[in-house]
Structure 1
Amino acid sequence: MLRTGQQYRDSIRDGRRVWMNGERVHDVTTHPQFKPLIDIRARIYDMAHEGATRDIMSYEENGDRFSVGLKLPYTEDDWHAKRRATDAVLEDVGGIVTRVGDETAGEMWSLYDGQDILNEVDPRFSDNICAHIHKVIQNDPFHVSANTDPKGDRSKRPQDQDPDMLLRVVKETDAGIVVRGAKYETAAAYANQAFTKPTIANWGDSALSEYAVGFICDFSSPNLRFICRTGFAGRAPAEDYPLSSRFDEIEALVIYDDVLIPWENVLFYQHTKAAGFIRNTLHRYSAFAFVQRNLKLADLMIGAALWNVRQTGLEKQQAVQEKLATLACYREGINAHLTAAIANAETSPGGLLMPNQSLLMTGRVHACSQLHHMMHLARELCGGQICVTPDAAAFADPDTADWLKKFYTLNDNWGSDDRRKLLAFARDLLNSDYAGHRLTFQLFAQAPPFAHLGAVYRNFDFDDALRFTKKSAGLSDNVLG
């Protein structure tokens, strides 16, 4: 079943307990700070039904249509289709959205690949994983992912401090497990469900742990609370902040106050080896969609910078061209990694086609580790006016409009209104609270930078470099790699 946007909105009017800015939010679909992103998520659902985008966003199987983003990948064409669908969404909405479901479905596919390890714990878990993957495909929910805890004192074991600092199982019942603790999660307040999984904790030598648990959490469940940060939308006029007024994806601290998770929703439990495997392979699919967002973010930075230097007549200067070329190298580096990861895709342990892991993970490091440098280059190219330009209201005020029209009109092609719009866009993209938040989010949304590098270390094939160096240096056969 392919949902419509209205069906999605109706599904999250379920009485969930949400707070923002010290107040209870009774309907997230109408709240001014949630509504813009909810409308975008609803728009994505509607795109799957519209003639112009139907075949990009969905596919037909046995007479029914399903979401391209949620489809299990078996061929290179499946990955090309996912890439086209993501690009279509970002082009349609005119900005970057990260947590909309297609990038989190891939984490479930990593579980699918780990069924042998999970079967060491309980064969039921493997069955639950397959059931949930197909349930997501069939029912088209807004599925997100939760994996970051408050953590507490990380020099101690969880058991040696307030034990709820990491989400844990406190009781088993015939109906399921009861969990207590908290998770930070982007989009939780307006999603349907989450794959909730453990942060790697200081378990010591424990083979079993009440913290090593992963499950599907229905966000309409009783005993859940969503405590959200204040959003950016509505804090300033949309004319001055065109991105933050629409594309702010709000995070929540989700409180699990003795929440019952039915056994059929438990995907792994207690086995620390299984939890470690899941953490290490979690992003083998989902990193693709995540890195693709950085590609589109690079496009926005290049566009904002290039339009600005064309406005001001600086495009022909060598120093300016060098900075633009550096931005282009960053952009094409991301593009190359994504393209090569599909072209050199690998068969996964579960029989799926996964992007080449070494290329994908090195691409993620390139995209994330260089982002702040690229943002600063784009700031330089846009110039100081992005932080000093008056607000849109001043351009409309009769007492100031003529002066601003005079000093912001560049030539016959670039009037003051277009100049102001570009500077406002660049300010929101590069200099605003929203810009800083997005930079931090891109650095940490798929684990911190050291974990990105850890994934590269685990997936890069060092053997050929060792072999070639051993041969070139004339090392003896006694040397072992």
Structure 2
Amino acid sequence: MIRTAKDYKESLRDGRQVWIDGEKVDDVTSHPMFKPIVDARARIYDLAHQPGTQEAMTYVDDETGERCAIGSKPPVTKEDWHHKRRSVETVLDDIRGVVTRVGDETVGEMWALFDGQDVLNEIDPAFSENIRRYVRKATLEDPFHVSANTDPKGDRSKWPQEQDPDVLLRVVGENDNGIVVRGAKFETAAAYSHQAFVKPTIAEWNNQTHSEYAVGFRADMSAPGVKHICRSGFAGRHSDADYPLSNRVDEVDTMIVFDDVLIPWEDVFFYRHTRAASFIRATLHRYSIFPFVLRHLRLADLMLGFAHAGARQTGVKKHQGVREKIAELACYRETINAHLVAAVEQAETSPGGLLMPHQATMYTGRVFACTHLSAMMHTLRDLTGCQISLAPSSATFANPEVKPYLDKYFRIGDVDAEERRKLLAFGRDLLNSDYANHRLTFQLFAQSPPFSHLLAVYNNYDFAPATELMCAAADITDIDGSTP
């Protein structure tokens, strides 16, 4: 059953251990740095119940007849992907910003492991059964699911055994009830989520067949021994009027410390076998890449909208140079959209029988969206000019002694000073604030670093058609010995 906002908030009052800015947090639902994003996630639950948005957010499960969240539905048709896109867009429209780690963008990593059941069966059929059961459970129960991936890592020139072995999360014991894990992981939104899919980051196992670091499991975010140590949030530092995005959609990142945490056997998806760990690393973003790139599209929409609105306010949209820069932003936006549309149109059946977005198209779309984002933000700064970094605060605009001057000098024709101030404040938060810089870095690294993005393109691209075409045109024998 889909939770309500009230259900979700109450579920977070479970005694979880959370720290931020040196303070132990008693209730993440009311703390000023967590409350805005908790409210945003709670709003997603309520959207699933409201008549105007329920159809966009949910579907009726064939087996149970119950309404379930479309974000957690394993995709089997193109319509599933169209529905998922409508769902994400409904959320972002309502929240009026970009939220990434809210569940739909991370549960797909479980579907990737679902595709690896043959690998899991070679290790232990119970692990395969665990993932099948969990995927179904997540579909029906609609938990807020995140994905714990990145480790502290330590000295990367050394194996973890050559330094503090806990720099990478590992299994330190097992008993009849399950495995005991120790280490740390970084994950956005963990402190206000229900559970996490925890898995290793190691890509090269140095010919090891077994390793205590090769482990994947479901972790309860309020389990004994789980501690959330969070970065400082951006919400609450300044007024909503001056920083509308920072105060509405900042997603707080967490270092999750596993201090000898017991993971029940039914929540273990693989253990010790490096082949299973390698499989999930190679396929991790097979499904989650779609909603991730879709968030890039929404960010591009916000930038394009700001560029066009700013040009209209100042009357410079008639200039050729301004039109060219706005067109560059439009090209960026439409190229991302083209990858999303094409990936669904050319969707492929997965090894587990699901429907995954066309892999080469999606991975190349991710590379384009991530690598061009910084340049597009700078293009927008160039187009906007320096005024977004010079505008006084909303409190100054309200001061009766200086308000007449600001009303005079910030007014542009029919656009009064307050409307101009609001646009400049939005642009500052979108491009120049702490939140903006954090978002830029997050979008670049959230699904692994750029070199991994390119490697994913290489590993998922079919080079044969281009090679065969070239060989036929050149009248040469292909490298595999065949004749054109």
- Using structure 1 for the length normalisation, give the TM-score: 0.99
What is the aligned partner in structure 1 of residue 27 from structure 2? 27
What is the aligned partner in structure 2 of residue 352 from structure 1? 354
Name the aligned partner's letter for residue 279 of structure 1.
R
1:272-297 Cα distance to aligned partner (Å, 9 max, x none) = 11101101100010000000000000
Name the aligned partner's letter for residue 240 of structure 2.
A
Superposed counterparts of 1:303-342, under 5 Å = 303-342=305-344
Q: Contact between 2:103 and 2:145, CA under 8 Å: does it hold in 1?
A: yes
What is the aligned partner in structure 2 of residue 286 from structure 1? 288
Name the aligned partner's letter for residue 434 of structure 1.
Y
What is the aligned partner in structure 1 of residue 266 from structure 2? 264
Distance 1:235 1:267, change over 3 A: same
The alpha-carbon deviation at position 378 of structure 1 amounts to 1.0
What is the aligned partner in structure 1 of residue 96 from structure 2? 94
The alpha-carbon deviation at position 201 of structure 1 amounts to 5.3
What is the aligned partner in structure 2 of residue 378 from structure 1? 380
Q: Which runs of 5+ in 1 are unaligned?
A: none
The alpha-carbon deviation at position 477 of structure 1 amounts to 5.9
Find the aligned partners of 1:202 and 1:347 in 2 and give their Cα distance: 28
Q: Report the count of equivalent residues.
A: 480
SS across alignment from 1:210: strand
Name the aligned partner's letter for residue 447 of structure 1.
S
The alpha-carbon deviation at position 112 of structure 1 amounts to 0.6
What is the aligned partner in structure 1 of residue 394 from structure 2? 392
What is the aligned partner in structure 1 of residue 237 from structure 2? 235
The alpha-carbon deviation at position 480 of structure 1 amounts to 3.9
The alpha-carbon deviation at position 340 of structure 1 amounts to 0.3
Find the aligned partners of 1:480 and 1:208 in 2 and give their Cα distance: 38
Superposed counterparts of 1:125-144, under 5 Å = 125-144=127-146
Find the aligned partners of 1:244 and 1:43 in 2 and give their Cα distance: 17
Find the aligned partners of 1:202 and 1:339 in 2 and give their Cα distance: 34
Find the aligned partners of 2:95 and 2:451 in 1 and give their Cα distance: 32
Q: Contact between 1:157 and 1:202, CA under 8 Å: does it hold in 2?
A: no
What is the aligned partner in structure 2 of residue 81 from structure 1? 83
Name the aligned partner's letter for residue 289 of structure 2.
A
1:76-96 Cα distance to aligned partner (Å, 9 max, x none) = 000000000000000011010
The alpha-carbon deviation at position 190 of structure 1 amounts to 0.2
What is the aligned partner in structure 1 of residue 72 from structure 2? 70
Name the aligned partner's letter for residue 421 of structure 1.
K
- Using structure 2 for the length normalisation, give the TM-score: 0.98
Q: Contact between 1:158 and 1:201, CA under 8 Å: does it hold in 2?
A: no
SS across alignment from 1:135: helix
Cα RMSD of the aligned pairs, angstroms, is 1.0
Paired residue for 1:208, among 199, 207, 210?
210
Find the aligned partners of 1:255 and 1:74 in 2 and give their Cα distance: 36
Q: Contact between 1:345 and 1:355, CA under 8 Å: does it hold in 2?
A: yes
Name the aligned partner's letter for residue 35 of structure 1.
K
Superposed counterparts of 1:23-172, under 5 Å = 23-61=23-61, 62-172=64-174
What is the aligned partner in structure 1 of residue 199 from structure 2? 197
1:168-187 Cα distance to aligned partner (Å, 9 max, x none) = 00001110000000001100
Q: Contact between 1:171 and 1:178, CA under 8 Å: does it hold in 2?
A: yes
Find the aligned partners of 1:89 and 1:208 in 2 and give their Cα distance: 42
Find the aligned partners of 2:307 and 2:477 in 1 and give their Cα distance: 55
Find the aligned partners of 1:118 and 1:370 in 2 and give their Cα distance: 38
1:110-136 Cα distance to aligned partner (Å, 9 max, x none) = 001011011111111100001111111
What is the aligned partner in structure 1 of residue 365 from structure 2? 363
The alpha-carbon deviation at position 476 of structure 1 amounts to 3.0
The alpha-carbon deviation at position 478 of structure 1 amounts to 6.8
What is the aligned partner in structure 2 of residue 470 from structure 1? 471
Percent sequence identity over aligned pairs: 60
Distance 1:478 1:333, change over 3 A: closer
Find the aligned partners of 1:344 and 1:202 in 2 and give their Cα distance: 32
What is the aligned partner in structure 1 of residue 453 from structure 2? 452
